[in-house]
Amino acid sequence: MARVVFPDHLLQHTGGTREIEVQASNYRAVVRAVDREWPGIEEVLIKSAVAIDGQIYQDAWLEPVREDSEIFFMQRIEGG
Amino acid sequence: MAEARDYRAIGTRPVRPDGVDKVTGRANFGADMNLPNMIHGKVLRSPHAHARIKSIDGSRALEMPGVYAVISGADFPSGAEGEISGEGGGTVSDLAMNIMARDKALYHGHAVAAVAAKTAFLAETALELIDVEYEVLPPVLDVDVAMEPGATLVDENQHTRGNESAGPSNIAAITKFERGDPEAGFAEADVVVEGDYRVPTAHQGYIEPHACTATLDEQGRATVWCCTQGHFDVRSMTAGVLGKSVGEIKVIPSEIGGGFGGKTVIYLEPLAVKLSELTGRPVKMVMSREEVFRATGPTSASHCKIKVGAKRDGTITAATAWMAYEAGAYPGAPVGPGCMSVFAPYDLENFRIEGFDVLVNKPKAAAYRAPGAPQSMHAMESAMDELARRIGMDPIDLRLKNCADEGTQAPYGPVYPPIGIRKCLEAAKVHPNYTTPKAEGTGRGIAAGFWFNIGMQSSAEVRLSEDGTVTVMEGSPDIGGSRASMCLMAAETLGVPYDVVRAHIGDTESTGFCNVTGGSRTTFATGLAVVQACEDIIAECKKRAAATWDIDADQVDWTEGEAIPKPGVNIDVQPLSLADIAGSMGRTGGPILGRASLNAQGAGAGFSVNFADVNVDQETGKVDILSFTAIQDAGTAIHPSYVEGQMQGGAVQGLGWALNEEYIYDDNGVMENAGFLDYRVPVASDMPMIDTQIIEVPNPSHPYGVRGVGETPIVAPLAVTSNAVSDALGFRISDLPLSPPRVLAAIDAHEED
């Protein structure tokens, strides 16, 4: 099961839950699984960046997720 | 995975393709566009930092000969929808109101009306004939004051995100990160240091003011020429503000005289398009330097509180950071990245970070080189210096003791892939500028820097000419020498000399989408697109060679710029160079071009270590930078001179912010130093030669190992200066800038104590 971690700014959408485990083979499936848990959160997640096993994606979609992956949602960064 | 290896083109230092045009004045910048029948637009700006606009009457201005149009907020669609990119996010609605105020002026210099007239002088004169009735309101000008209960509200409809039921507030958003048990960590500590640090509002200070020219054709399609870091974003933002589709707007980027983040947003373009629409003529708008200061994006002033606890051996047991950033008139201070950066160089078990995005009556903050990181890391790196003094440890050793590595969970969440902070610290420790004792009476300071770097969307097309010369077409405005870097990566990939490759920046209709030149992304992401487009060319060239030799394409190798049969393929042929294949491409299938479009991921974080020696004049408070050394991980330096240039330029900007740069406001919120005479950026005679050392820890997500390098360099110099001045004085001045008046006052106060 992949481990999904929510930072503070997403806790209002998860009722305070910081971590869950999901069965998914890619990022899109992770988002769908999380949205099943907290309907509507997908709208927020797609505006977030995500780190999958340390690799930061501004716009993830079909990136593969392993059985033991860590998925860490984070604020989007752009820069100057 | 990219590994350090020998290259033919990459790592060399050829002359940049755009250099001669820029030094001879041939290059066209934002204000250089002229069209037949062109007229000129000027903006009327609020004389108040906070005022309700009761009425605007442009009739007297319109009666003036040579005046063609007057516009105000009422001429723009209301209720614009959508979000814009950037550190703090933001909405198109806020962008539209920042460009032209509606019911309230929210800072001194906020645009309230605009005029188009035959000449710029007439337009300026006509501004004086626009009658605006204001109800002046008290301004809120300081982040601490703005956060107090009962503070004057910048926007009565602003609530804290996620806490809407609590009533309106100047606090637009709160960011929190926490790991472990900070209180337990502090209890374990032998030494705890605490500090309060303020960094002032500063401007990006680009030399070229904002400028654009717009015209509409008979079908209502607009063409905009402007200086920008990203013309595709100008297109979408202008369309959003005007309620047009992006297909109705074409944006052609000029050369750009600096942006540093400040030209990722727009101010003039929708006004010029609207004025052109009303007058039927091309309209040119050029800001004065004063307008640039008063109305375009400075970066946030900040107040940070840091607490760090450590064992006697230097092991940090806990750290907390509290930081409040000024967003200006609309939400979106870069406090999120400030929070995510503050502890980035370190492996910490227990920490808490809180950040506040706070409205004040100042211009809306815009991105500025590593947005948010210089402020928060100034605080943390100053606290690290205090900690090193308290426990009697070399400041580099203290940082090495707590250094993040590959596999460390970053304070902002994910696990780090390969990073270069440890190598930078180790390089600093043995650098001759560090091992040489400082001169008597001087001070030495060291600090670490960090920026995330980003990838995002880029496109590139590579075209082969019939003589084998190569044209790279891409959409990332060249600010720091990226044309040269694109040519080098294309030359390396194709195996041809640098001299046969030319790079061009296409407009929004002649090249594929590219996000802004910002976030230190261009060499990484657009470079990746160029490499892939070249690989596309190679694949096609192998097919043409195979067809020529009557073998299969998978029996052809591409080596050193030539197609050759793979080992074991038994045919007697001569290698075909790129020029050979180009010369016969008409017969072998037609023109050859390669293309790539991508959303690049895995930009690879950038770390730095800087140190400096300073002298403080005890009689005047003036700080002289005697030497400055910048060490930074560039992944792979494609063009080392431009990497060094970024390191030197960022260092000088950081030193300017540390030493002198600040917005000085009167009690009414009027900036008193809106010009380079009084807002003092460093000049060459202020600076020593900035010594550089490039560290190369290749980024595994790029075929040549590139990491972004443009932003990290501005981060460390703020704390370097604070720490060096503290070392020289024997006591700390926590707030910036360390300008002569502040330093002299601190010396006097310290002597009185």
Find the closest chain B residue to A51 by CA distance: B414
What pLDDT is recorded for position B88?
57
Mutate to test the interface with B, among A8, A44, A56 (most CBs of B within 10 A): A56
Given the structure tokens 């723009």, which residue do they identify?
B76
Residue B254 gets the label, from left (phi > 0), alpha (psi -120 to 50) or beta, of beta
Contacts of B654 in chain A (CB under 8 A): none
Q: Do A77 and B455 touch (CB under 8 A)?
A: no
Distance CA B28, CA B653 (A): 25
Classified as helix, coil or strand, B24 is helix
User: Looking at residue B50, what DSSP letter applies?
Assistant: S
Q: From the centroid of its chain, how far is CA B617?
A: 33
Nearest to B370 among A9, A54, A80 (CB): A80
What pLDDT is recorded for position B188?
98
What pTM, to 2 d.p., does this model score? 0.96
How buried is residue B211: exposed, middle or buried, by Cβ count under 10 Å (0-12/13-18/19+)?
A: buried
* H or E element in which residue B580 lies: helix B578-583
Helices (H), B111-190: 120-127, 143-147, 182-188
- Residue A57's pLDDT band (cuts 50, 70, 90): confident
Distance CA B539, CA B561 (A): 12
According to DSSP, the residues that pair with B195 across neighbouring strands are B306
| CA distance to partner chain B, nearest, from residue A47 (Å) | 10
pLDDT along chain B (753 residues), means of 10: 75 94 96 97 98 98 98 92 70 95 97 98 98 98 97 96 90 93 98 98 97 95 98 96 97 97 97 98 98 96 98 98 98 95 98 97 97 98 98 98 96 90 98 97 98 94 98 96 97 97 97 95 97 98 98 97 96 97 97 96 93 97 98 97 97 98 97 97 96 96 95 98 98 98 97 86
Find the closest chain B residue to A78 by CA distance: B519
Closest CA to B403 of B343, B445, B469: B343
Q: Do A56 and B414 touch (CB under 8 A)?
A: yes
Residue B386 gets the label, from left (phi > 0), alpha (psi -120 to 50) or beta, of alpha
Find the closest chain A residue to B419 by CA distance: A54
Nearest to B451 among A57, A73, A79 (CB): A79
Half-sphere exposure at residue B102, Cβ-oriented, CA atoms within 13 angstroms: 13
Domains, chain B, ranges and CATH?
19-26+455-600 (3.30.365.10), 33-137+208-257+263-295 (3.90.1170.50), 298-453+604-752 (3.30.365.10)
What count of other Cβ atoms lies within 10 Å of the Cβ of residue B118?
A: 15
Torsion of CA A51, A55, A59, A62, to 10 degrees: -100
Half-sphere exposure at residue B706, Cβ-oriented, CA atoms within 13 angstroms: 33
Q: Do B603 and A56 touch (CB under 8 A)?
A: yes
Structure tokens that stand for B243 in this block: 């309620």
Distance CA B46, CA B670 (A): 10
Distance CA B537, CA B595 (A): 8
Distance CA B635, CA B424 (A): 12
Q: Do B367 and A78 touch (CB under 8 A)?
A: yes
- pLDDT, tens only, A29-45: 999 999 999 999 999 99
Q: From the centroid of its chain, how far is CA B744?
A: 33
Q: Do B260 and A80 touch (CB under 8 A)?
A: yes
Nearest to A77 among B83, B414, B452 (CB): B452
ipTM: 0.91
What pLDDT is recorded for position B48?
98
Q: Do A78 and B454 touch (CB under 8 A)?
A: yes
Find the closest chain B residue to A7 by CA distance: B177
User: Average pLDDT over chain A, rounded to whole?
Assistant: 91
Residues 6 or more apart in contact with residue B123 via CB below 8 angstroms: B39, B40, B41, B42, B67, B115, B116, B117
Residues 6 or more apart in contact with residue B128 via CB below 8 angstroms: none
Find out whether B117 and B44 touch, Cβ atoms under 8 Å.
no
* H or E element in which residue B382 lies: helix B373-391
How buried is residue B405: exposed, middle or buried, by Cβ count under 10 Å (0-12/13-18/19+)?
A: exposed
What pLDDT is recorded for position B612?
98
Given the structure tokens 């007229």, which residue do they identify?
B39
Q: Do B599 and A59 touch (CB under 8 A)?
A: yes
Classified as helix, coil or strand, A17 is coil
Classified as helix, coil or strand, B379 is helix
Residues 6 or more apart in contact with residue B227 via CB below 8 angstroms: B29, B30, B208, B210, B211, B212, B253, B254, B255, B256, B257, B259, B263
Closest CA to B682 of B664, B659, B648, B663: B659
Sign of CA dihedral B226, B230, B235, B240: negative
Q: Do B417 and A79 touch (CB under 8 A)?
A: no
Distance CA B26, CA B15 (A): 17
Full DSSP string of B413-471: SSBP-S--HHHHHHHHHH-HHHHSPPPTT-EEEEEEEEE----EEEEEEEEE-TTS-EE
| CA distance to partner chain B, nearest, from residue A7 (Å) | 7
Find out whether B310 and B191 touch, Cβ atoms under 8 Å.
yes
Find out whether B367 and B86 touch, Cβ atoms under 8 Å.
yes
The sheet carrying B623-633 orders its strands as B443-451, B606-616, B623-633, B690-695
* CATH 3.10.20.30, domain A2-74, yes or no: yes
Distance CA B81, CA B103 (A): 18
Q: Do A80 and B701 touch (CB under 8 A)?
A: no
